[in-house]
Every structure is written in C-alpha cells, then in structure tokens.
Amino acid sequence: MRFATLRTICLLAAVFAAAGSTLWAAEDGFRPIFDGKTLDGWDGNPAFWSVKDGCIVGQTTAENPTKGNTFLIWRGGEPGDFELKAEFKLTNHNSGIQVRSFEAGKWVLGGYQADMESSGKYMGICYGERFRGILAMRGDRTVIGDDHKPKVVGTVGDPAELLKKIDLTGWNEYHIIARGWTITEKINGATMSEVTDEDAEMRRAKGLIGFQLHAGPPMKVEFRNVQLKELATADANAKVDSEKKKRVVFVAGTASHGYGGHEHNAGCHLLAKCLEESGLPVETVVYENGWPEDANAFDGADAIVVYANGGGGHPILPHLDQVGPLMKKGVGLACLHYGVEVPKEQAGKQFLDWIGGYFETHWSVNPWWTAHFKQIPEHAVTRGVEPFALQDEWYYHMRFRPNMEGVTPLLTAIPPDSTRERPDGPHSNNPTVRAGRGQPEHLGWVRERPDGGRGFGFTGSHWHWAWAQDDFRTFVLNGLAWTAGLDIPEGGVPSKTPTYEELLKGQDYPQPDGFTEEKAKALYAPQ
C-alpha cells in the first residue's frame, strides 16, 4: 500500500510537470481558463487582483478600499450554454461569480451572479447584479416572468440543510450550469438555487464571465481550478422561443380505488399543468375517463402518458393497432402505476419494446411499503431529484427486457422482507419473489428504442396526495418531459409544490367527513 501511494505521488508529479503552466487537471469536456500563474486572458484593476500560490486573489484593505464593486473579467469570449466550475475561498464580506453578464463601466459588470457571502445568509443565492436584484434565494426554484419578478415555483432543498454543505471559512467548489434559459447553481455538488428566466425583455442568452470584489469592509476572495465547458453555440438559446413545442397527450383512466387513490383525471390535469407552467416548449392535452374517442387525438403527439387502471382493462389493449404505428414513428410512451400492467399474452411483447418492462401477473407484486431511494443515478430524468423516501403501493419485480437491453433503471430500492411473505397469487407473491429477499428492485426506469422513441415506466403514484412531495413529483415530470424529447433543465422540470386545496380539485370522489390535510400526508409519509 505504501509503494502504491508513493508511485501515485510520483505519477501525479509527472503529470503536473508535463502540464506546464496549467496547475489543475481539467475534467472531461472542461478546459482551464486560468493558468495558475498569471492573469493572462483576464482583465481587472491590478490594485486589487493578483495571483498568489496558484490562486486568483482579490483583496481590499482599510488602506486600499474599492469605491464600488469591481470585477475581474475573463476576456476569452461570451459563452451561451456552458458549465463553469471554480473553487473559491471567501474571507469576510461578499463576492460572487458573474455569468452571461454585460459591462456597465470600466471593470464593472452586471448580470447573473452566483453569490457568496461570509455570514452564509446569501451564500448560494442567484443575484442579478444591476439586473433585477435577488433572483432566487438558497433552496428556491424560481421562474421570472415578463413582470421582471421572480416567482418561487418549487424547492431544490432546505436552505439550512444546504448551508451545512458549505465551509464558510474554507475552500468550496461552485458549479454553475447555464442551459437554455435556466441557470443552476451548485456548491460542493449540492444544488443551491435554480432560475428559469422567462422575462423576454431582460433575460440574457450569453455574456461575460467575471469575479466580484465587493465595496465595503476589507475582504479577500480566492479562486482556483477555474474550468469551462461550452455546451452550445453562443446564439443557440436565443432560438428556443422559435422551437416547435412538444405535444404530450394524457390518457386518464376512470374512477377507481376510492377517495384519493388512483385519481387518474385529477393527477393527469395536475401533471399537465405543471408541464405547461414549467417554461419548457411543451403543450398538453388531457383526455378524461379512458381512451379518447377523437380519431385525431394523437396527431402530432410527441409522447402519450397513460395513467389508468391496467390489467385486462388497460385502455391501450383495444387500440394496439393504433398505438403500434405511433411507436414506430418515434412517439414516446409513459405509463404510471397500474398503467404498467398488461396481460402477458396480449401486450407483454409490445410493452417490453415500447417502455422496456411491465407488471406481469404471477411474476410481479404490488405490496404497500416505504421505498428509500438512497442513491440517485445521474441521468436527465433524475436532474433535481435528491434522495427521498415515500410510502406507496410500489409495484416491484417487473418483467424487463432480457439483460435490461436498452433499459436504464433510475429509482431503485430494497423492499422489506415482509413484502415477500404474502400468500401466492397473481399480484401478491410467488416463489421467485420470495427467493429475492434483500435484493434491490427497480421502480422507475426509462427505455431508449432503436426507432428513436422513448419509454418511461413508474410503479408509484397510488395516492394523489404524494404529488406534494417535490422529489417524487420532479422525477415523474422529468420522465414525462424526457419521453417527449424535451431537454431537461439541470435542476429538473420546475414546478410549484401543490397546496392541499389544489390537490382537492377535480377528484373523482367527494371528500369524506373528517378527512384532513394531516391524514392525507400520513398516507404517503415514510414508515
């Protein structure tokens, strides 16, 4: 072990020696924009900015203050879509990283700013320097409308818990993602804020990168390992408004399972509303109570979403001849909860092709249990989804394609052994499930088809109330948007957490006497 360590040190020394002026090794797709030795390519007041010990240093003192905010500007271009990473250390007061910014004077910038502040109050927020003020506080997911004001539409985490991930006196890494009209800020791998700018008058598609030195008390800020990965041409996101909207068609099933359960109509309307309000180029239509009678219902569809009772009553079964040609054209298919079950002999083969897996009777099971999603893999559909736990009728032991060919599991958990102890039956248990004690099971997955179409399967969503759980809802919205071929923002499809009153709207059954919000929350709360 000691030999291996010494060998590694020697190899690293050789790498850095060969790198010449580059102090830090660039990550895949990234390139360094600071050489670790000089300010070549950067422009700022030399009275405040310098390079020391491989770091960019900005510093004011009582004897040498700055009268206004001053900036160190990177002169290497004005990136549009990109990712920027930089390690920083702040000593006292306030600083930030400017992106997609404009010049407002000599060494003065305005625009989007990934903020940092020594007390922690504003650490990780998105600020508009000379540009509409605070755009998102830490923990916020916001959308800015044409009134120039940000509106909180969801959360990326608890502000206090996110602050615990930051060393206020030591080194941290800022990771800023600008994709389309969305700016996502991460510190030490945790998403701090996300802004989707729908303000057509003021939003910026590209601009300058810079570091801030704030006026006021003496301060010092240091930056190192500054890396940039450009994702698109400079004017790519300026074209987003002219893109054809993706059309998502919801097929909502009929009433079943009593109050609050299998609320297909209300659930589809809620998900459609979230997509419509997300700022993504998408349009939706919801057909209630089963398969649409309109022969032209799927004209121009990019994805079909089926949230309905399955089994022998699955709404697709009488229409396989209609759906098959749509799939061959690359139309996506998403199936939620009972909608993943079809009879093996009637549509099993098709579902293996279309969405990659399905609930097969006498093979799959449907117990109630709390799924703990402790690790979330990286995928477009998992953007903005943090580890979470939720009680639901989580179906598991799906019938998947052989060797999971073309199928990517995204939500996986280990069911408690008690779920494998029920008597045998078409939905309850079988010897294969019983023998799998302690094994992880896939509860949410995606399928990329050779025809270019996409499939999404999700076994949860029995209780309508669970849509109030942000990670649960974000995962499903991401899955639907991805299935339609949309680009998913770094922080996931933005959506507002529905209130209890909003969840009550449009349900199939009247509210029972004595039913309360607390009782609703208890139905999906982890046990």
pLDDT cut 70: percent of the chain above it: 93
Which CATH number fits the domain that encloses residue 310?
3.40.50.880
Same-domain pairing of 224 and 249: no
Same-domain pairing of 194 and 87: yes
Q: How high is the pLDDT of residue 240?
A: 43
Same-domain pairing of 204 and 248: no
- How far is Cα 139 from Cα 165, in angstroms, rounded to an integer? 12
Q: How high is the pLDDT of residue 25?
A: 52
In 3D space, the residue among 312, 255, 317, 318 whose CA is nearest the CA of residue 288 turns out to be 255
79 in a domain, yes or no? yes
- How far is Cα 82 from Cα 101, in angstroms, rounded to an integer? 14
Of 138-147, 238-247, 353-362, 365-374, which range is least confident? Answer: 238-247
Same-domain pairing of 183 and 282: no
Residue 240 amino acid letter: V
488 in a domain, yes or no? yes
Q: How high is the pLDDT of residue 26?
A: 58
Same-domain pairing of 133 and 273: no
pLDDT of 325-335, one tens digit each?
999 999 999 99
pLDDT of 462-492, one tens digit each?
999 999 999 999 999 999 999 999 999 989 9
Mean pLDDT of 334-362: 97
Mean pLDDT of 386-414: 96
Q: How high is the pLDDT of residue 238?
A: 42
Listed in sequence order, the residues at least 6 apart from 304 whose beta carbon sits closer than 8 Å to its beta carbon are: 248, 249, 251, 298, 323, 326, 331, 332, 333, 334
pLDDT of 305-317, one tens digit each?
999 999 999 999 9
Final residue of a structural domain among 224, 239, 254 = 239
Q: Is residue 217 scored above 60 in pLDDT? A: yes
Q: Is residue 512 scored above 50 in pLDDT? A: yes
Confidence of residue 232 (pLDDT cuts 50, 70, 90): low
Beta-sheet pairing, 219-230 with 82-91: antiparallel
Angle between helices 264-276 and 470-483 (to 10 degrees): 80
* Cβ atoms within 10 Å, residue 118: 18
Same-domain pairing of 225 and 260: no
Confidence of residue 24 (pLDDT cuts 50, 70, 90): very low
Q: How many domains does the chain have?
A: 2
Mean pLDDT of 215-241: 77
Q: How high is the pLDDT of residue 29?
A: 84
| Residue 4 structure tokens | 């291996």
State the residue range of the domain holding 98. 21-239
